[in-house]
Structures are given as structure tokens and as C-alpha cells.
């Protein structure tokens, strides 16, 4: 069973539907025992870093996630990926979960070409920089769907894939041990995204 | 870099996809779920559904369709039509929409843009505008293009983006349905005024029109309905053609 953490941020309809369409048994939950029993966990998220961190703290699930990440695959998606890092700089500085070294900073500030639009929204091609079981069914250079204004940086050692936006190599996929993350939305990335979710469900 | 997007638009009335010319003469066309599946398989980058139903009964049919589409098609879905308040945002987002497009609802109550952006994020709010040239000015029209609001469309767009609209759909009434190409003059003016992504709508008649559109740097996506519905232009072929012309496309 795959558990999607429900902590009150964002719409989980597409994510749970996409997993179900792959035949993956999926539950959307905020219960500790369900997360403990799950084979793998997905941490979704949309919105701002600080708000999301606060909401996650309110659920009391942070220690559970940190412990379970030691023993089973965990995938953070979009803001859920950003929360895996040490800290985020969206509207002030906020602590992340510290599962992957690095920080989450403003993409707009790091872009040299100020005419590029923010958010980085739409389909960008994902260049694989490190092979990984997550890419078992995914081809180098396939397009994935992004919607975000902040991005993870100083995390090169754990980066699996990047998408180029102006001068910035946007961190697209990361992994450290049992913990994976994608900045893009696999559940909105068509067939390529579904294949990536399938690979995660087989980990 | 980001790919330019090709977006088919499905106008849904009483559970069927319809398409008219110059906002009139609606014709019954196809089953929306089947058509959505077809577009997904052809490589559409996003789908837009406009609910043009008037009745509450039709509205229920629409959300059923949306739920069915969203549970089997995993690309971004934008929903518009009859969005007047946060409860409408809520209703369609719960059925699987990713973005919600406001048009007349924002004209009636402009505060809806800021309120929705605050609750759901800028990326979720799309400002859709129907614009026509009147007395040398780009004028904003309401009610499906039937009513001149007297508002300057470019000012309206700047205000909407400032309030938190994360994307703008510019539909030119002057070129809509006549298939002589997108309204490039109007689009350039808008691109010079706002920084948010711009989706061009109205006027696509052939694949060359899209190639011409994407030479205009400020335009992020091209939206069309009838040429895709009638299979006059095949999305897969169109995208291959555009890539051949040097436009970045997801294939």
C-alpha cells in the first residue's frame, strides 16, 4: 500500500487517481498507524514553504516521517520535495525536514534573464544526471510538468535530474537513500509521469 | 527550456462538446471524455474545459464529466465557465481541475482574483478575457463576447496579473472562428504589458498560424477548438511540424 500524506495542502485528487490508474493500492491519510503500515509514502504539497511546514508540524507526523524514511521509500512532490531539504527561503527562512542536504531559494533571483517568466510553469525536459531505479521506465530528455517559483540548490551530490531554465539548471529530481523527490508533478506529466510513478511504486 | 504549449479547448453544454463561430451558431460535436482521451493520446499539453451550460442540471453533468476526465487523464486541466466565487473554484478543484479560469465573474466582482490567488495560489487562477477593437481601443467584453464593458482590456490584464492571476487567456473576438490566424497585434500589446504566461486564443485555421504565433516571444501557448475537433489539424502532426520550425515542443 502507498500512503499519500494528507496535511491540508493542495489537491490530492490527481495524485491518488494517477496511482489508482496504475493499479497501485493507495490511501490518502493523516494517521500515524497508516503511515507506519504503508510500504511507501508520498509527501505532496503546493503553496508556500513556511505554511506547509507549519501545517505538517500541526499533524504531529514529522517524527513519523523521519523514522519511516529510514526504512521505506519516501517520495516528495513539488513543495513536498522542497520540504525534504534543510531550509527554505520563501517569505523568510524556515526549517525543512533535513532529509537531503541543500536549500530552497527563489528561482527568479537566480535567473540572469529577467524577462523569463516566474513561476516556471509548463513542460520542460528532464535531463538525467545520475541513473536511478526511479528512471526505470523513463527516457532521458522526456518532458515533465512544472509549476513553481522556488527551487532546490546546493544539492548536487543528490541530484538525479535537472531541467534548464535560462542560466539555471533547475533541480528536477533528487535522491538520498530511501528518500526521493521531484520538483515537477509526475501526476500531471502525462505518460512519462505515470511511468515514473510506476517505477516508484515498484521500489 | 519550457516547451510552447498546444491546448485544445472543449466547450461543454449539457454534457456534450460544442463549437460555434463568432460566439454563435453552436453545433453539437462529441463526447467530452472520449475527446479528452483522444487529445491526451495525440500529445495535447493541457486541456481547457468551458462549461457553457446555464442550468443547474447541466452543471451537475459538467462536474461528473470533469471528474471522469481527471481520473483518467494526467495532464493539466483548466476549467472555466460560470465561475463567480470561491465556492465555484472549490467545486471544480475538488473534481480534479488544476487551474480555474475566470472571465465574466471577475468583471462582475474583480476581488475574486485576489481572493482565489490567496487561497489556491497564483498558478491556479487564469484570467480569461474576450477582447475586441472598438474605436481604436482594445475593449473588454463580457457575457461570452456579447457585451461591451467599456473597460480597456490591457489595463484590465495588468490589474488582473497584479491581483494574482497566474496566466492570461487572450481571446480575440475579432479573429475568433474566422480562421485567418491569431491576433498577433493584440497579443504583442498584451505581452508588452504583463509578465505572466499568455495563452493565445481565437483565429487558428492551420498549422502555419501556430508557427507564426510562436515567433512572437511573449506567447506561451496556443489554444484552439474547432480545427482540432474537426481533425482539420492533428495535434501530433502540428507539434512535429512546429519542432521542425525550431519551436520547442514536447513530443
For the residues B198-208, what does the mean pLDDT come to? 96
- The per-residue pLDDT for B23 is 47
B51 located within any domain: yes
CA A112 to chain centre: 25
CATH number reported for the structural domain that contains residue B125 in this entry:
3.20.20.70
B66 located within any domain: yes
Interface test with B, best of A118, A143, A183 (most B CBs within 10 A): A143
Per-domain residue ranges for chain A? 2-91+103-201
B251 located within any domain: no
Q: Is A76 in contact with A180 (CB distance < 8 Å)?
A: yes
Beta carbons of B98 and A46 less than 8 Å apart: no
A2-91+103-201 sits in which CATH class? alpha beta
B249 located within any domain: no
B88 located within any domain: yes
- The per-residue pLDDT for B26 is 53
For the residues A176-198, what does the mean pLDDT come to? 97
DSSP B78-96: EEESS--SHHHHHHHHHTT
- Sign (positive/negative) of CA torsion A145, B78, B244, B228? positive
Beta carbons of B2 and A119 less than 8 Å apart: no
Of the candidates B40, B70, B122, the beta carbon closest to that of A13 is on B70
Per-residue pLDDT tens over the stretch B5-32: 999 999 898 888 886 544 445 556 678 8
- The per-residue pLDDT for A103 is 98
Pairing label, strands B47-51, B77-80: parallel
Place of cell 527563489: A106
Give B221's contacts in chain A (Cβ within 8 Å). 122
- The per-residue pLDDT for B250 is 97
Average pLDDT, rounded, for chain B: 91
Place of cell 451537475: B60
Residue of B nearest to A149 (CA): B123
Residue B57 has pLDDT above 60, yes or no: yes
DSSP B163-183: HT--EEEEEETTTTTT-S---
- The per-residue pLDDT for A11 is 75
* Tally of structural domains, chain B: 1
Per-residue pLDDT tens over the stretch B100-146: 999 999 999 999 999 999 888 888 999 999 999 999 999 999 988 88
Query: Could you list the residue range(s) of the whole structural domain that residue B37 is in?
Result: 5-244
Query: pLDDT band at B228, cuts 50/70/90?
Result: very high
| ipTM score | 0.90
B10 located within any domain: yes
- The per-residue pLDDT for B199 is 97
Based on its alpha-carbon atoms, the radius of gyration of chain B, rounded to whole angstroms, reads 17
Amino acid at each position: 500500500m502507498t500512503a499519500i500524506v494528507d496535511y491540508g495542502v493542495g489537491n490530492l485528487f490527481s495524485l491518488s487517481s494517477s496511482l489508482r490508474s496504475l493499479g497501485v493500492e493507495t490511501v490518502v491519510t493523516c494517521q500515524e498507524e497508516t503511515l507506519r503500515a504503508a510500504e511507501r509514502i508520498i509527501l505532496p504539497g503546493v503553496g508556500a514553504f513556511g505554511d506547509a511546514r507549519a501545517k505538517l508540524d500541526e499533524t504531529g507526523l514529522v517524527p513519523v516521517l523521519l523514522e519511516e524514511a529510514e526504512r521505506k521509500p519516501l517520495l516528495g512532490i513539488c513543495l513536498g520535495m522542497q520540504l525534504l531539504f534543510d531550509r527554505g527561503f520563501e517569505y523568510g527562512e524556515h526549517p525543512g525536514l533535513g532529509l537531503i542536504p541543500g536549500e530552497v531559494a527563489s528561482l527568479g533571483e537566480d535567473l540572469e534573464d529577467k524577462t523569463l517568466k516566474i513561476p516556471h510553469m509548463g513542460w520542460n525536459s528532464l535531463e538525467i544526471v545520475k541513473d536511478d531505479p526511479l528512471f526505470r521506465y523513463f527516457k532521458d530528455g522526456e518532458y515533465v510538468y512544472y509549476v513553481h517559483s522556488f527551487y532546490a540548490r546546493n544539492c548536487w551530490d543528490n541530484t538525479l535530474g535537472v531541467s534548464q531554465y535560462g542560466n539555471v539548471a533547475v533541480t528536477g529530481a533528487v535522491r538520498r537513500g530511501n528518500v526521493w523527490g521531484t520538483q515537477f508533478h509526475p501526476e500531471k506529466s502525462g505518460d512519462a509521469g505515470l511511468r515514473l510513478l510506476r517505477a516508484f511504486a515498484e521500489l | 527550456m519550457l516547451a510552447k504549449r498546444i491546448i485544445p479547448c472543449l466547450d461543454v453544454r449539457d454534457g456534450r462538446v460544442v463549437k460555434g463561430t463568432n460566439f454563435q451558431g453552436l453545433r453539437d460535436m462529441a463526447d467530452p471524455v472520449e475527446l479528452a482521451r483522444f487529445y491526451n493520446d495525440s500529445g495535447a499539453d493541457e486541456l481547457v474545459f468551458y462549461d457553457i451550460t446555464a442550468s443547474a442540471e447541466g452543471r451537475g453533468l459538467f462536474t461528473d464529466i470533469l471528474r471522469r476526465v481527471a481520473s483518467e487523464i494526467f495532464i493539466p486541466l483548466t476549467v472555466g465557465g460560470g465561475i463567480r466565487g470561491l465556492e465555484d473554484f472549490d467545486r471544480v478543484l475538488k473534481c480534479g481541475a488544476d487551474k480555474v479560469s475566470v472571465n465574466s465573474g471577475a468583471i462582475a466582482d474583480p476581488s475574486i482574483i485576489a481572493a482565489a490567488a490567496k487561497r489556491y495560489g497564483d498558478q491556479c487562477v487564469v484570467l480569461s478575457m474576450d477582447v475586441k477593437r472598438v474605436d481604436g481601443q482594445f475593449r473588454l467584453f463580457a457575457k461570452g463576447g456579447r457585451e461591451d464593458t467599456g473597460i480597456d482590456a490591457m489595463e484590465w490584464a495588468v490589474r488582473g496579473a497584479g491581483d494574482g492571476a497566474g496566466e492570461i487567456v487572450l481571446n480575440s473576438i475579432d479573429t475568433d472562428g474566422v480562421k485567418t490566424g491569431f491576433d498577433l497585434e493584440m497579443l504583442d500589446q498584451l505581452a508588452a504589458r504583463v509578465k505572466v504566461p499568455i495563452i493565445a486564443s481565437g483565429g487558428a485555421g492551420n498549422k502555419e498560424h501556430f508557427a507564426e504565433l510562436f515567433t512572437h516571444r511573449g506567447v506561451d501557448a496556443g489554444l484552439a477548438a474547432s480545427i482540432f475537433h474537426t481533425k482539420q489539424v492533428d495535434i501530433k502532426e502540428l507539434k512535429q511540424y512546429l519542432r521542425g520550425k525550431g519551436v520547442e515542443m514536447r513530443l
